[in-house]
Chain A
Amino acid sequence: MVLTADITLPEESELTVEEVNLSTATLRAGSFHLGKYCEQANNEFMLCRFEEKDPRKCINEGKAVTACTLEFFRKVKKTCLAEFNQYTNCIDKSSGDFGLQHCRKTQGVFDGCMLEKLHMERPEFGYFTEVRVHSTNRPKPLVEEKAVYPDTTPALPDDAERKPARFGSRFYWMTE
């Protein structure tokens, strides 16, 4: 293994939180409203994950994401459970890949309920594939500076005379 004793790994107790124990169809059914509801937490986590490139440094952000997801689904369960279950059932049973295009009617019912009771609008088409600006307080991770070698060959000064090549181009198929 490449995992030496020097590498700090978080304890199991630090990593144990309540997980989102839901099926694919359920997650797919709630995905659009969920993505909008937890946008801040999600973006914060993904930014951390892509900037740091290290899962150990983004555990707290990840916990926030899971907590937000749970909160969202609890809200849905409290208000629009029947409509949500109907939509989920449709997604689950209409196709092999949980396609959303087969369930427009039940989707309409669910969206109406979400808008009416939770004031959550379904994001417009293509919202999650667009580039979105995220404002954050996260400090930017330090970029490793370029190595400076004291014995580098000094570069030619900018105002040095640059004569044309004496024996033509090294690319033989190019002429002057």
Chain B
Amino acid sequence: MSEACQIARKQDLPPPGGYKPIPFQRLPAKQYFSGYTMFAMYIGITAVSAYLYNINAKRIAKNEIEMRSAKMAIYPMLLAERDREYLKQLRRNRDAEAELMRDVPGWEVGTYYGERVYKLVPPDTLIEPIFHEYYAHSSPTEWFRRAYHKLRC
């Protein structure tokens, strides 16, 4: 019985001729440039880029100045036109408020039942209304158009 269970066993041994040598030595990557060359290259490339950057920066600055000049030259005309339209709109707003609050007893235009908003300035001082007051009598579409102007363009 015990003899039938006998299996030929083979001892685990090194391969014939022994194991290969273990590669434990460092294998550094190939070096194309020395440290000093790399420093020199860095400085050289930076210098050339700075030179090119300066050329472009000057050109861009010149163009910006030119565009600014063109805008400044037409600004008075645009401002004059805007002022006239603004004053027209202020009058329209005031008339609209008078019309809207006509039936309210004791209401005075531009005041809260006769109490002024700005008490210390002379009565004829033009105080520019804030955005929401300026657009108070316009349609919500117009309000939205102006308030979110940047969304559209």
Q: List A residues at the B interface (Cβ < 8 Å).
A: 1-12, 15-17, 19-20, 27-28, 31-32, 34-36, 38, 41-42, 45-46, 49, 54-56, 58-59, 61-63, 65-66, 69, 97, 99-101, 125-129
Interface-central residue, A3, A15, A49, A100, by most chain B CB under 10 Å = A3
* Whole-angstrom distance between the Cβ of B93 and the nearest chain A Cβ: 6
* Whole-angstrom distance between the Cβ of A72 and the nearest chain B Cβ: 10
Q: Which of B15-23, B27-35, B40-48, B120-128 contacts A (4 or more CB under 8 A)?
A: B120-128
- Cβ–Cβ contact A1 & B62, under 8 A: no
CA distance A42 to B75 in the complex (A): 9
Nearest to A35 among chain B residues (CB) is B73
A–B pairs, 27, beta carbons within 8 Å: A2-B129, A4-B108, A5-B110, A7-B124, A10-B91, A12-B91, A15-B85, A16-B84, A19-B81, A20-B77, A32-B70, A35-B72, A38-B77, A42-B73, A42-B76, A46-B79, A49-B79, A55-B87, A58-B83, A59-B87, A62-B83, A65-B77, A65-B80, A66-B81, A69-B77, A100-B70, A129-B72
Q: Cβ of A128: which chain B residues have Cβ within 8 Å of it? A: 68-70, 72-73
- Cβ–Cβ contact A28 & B83, under 8 A: no
Given contacts A31-B70, A129-B69, contact A15 B133 (CB under 8 A): no
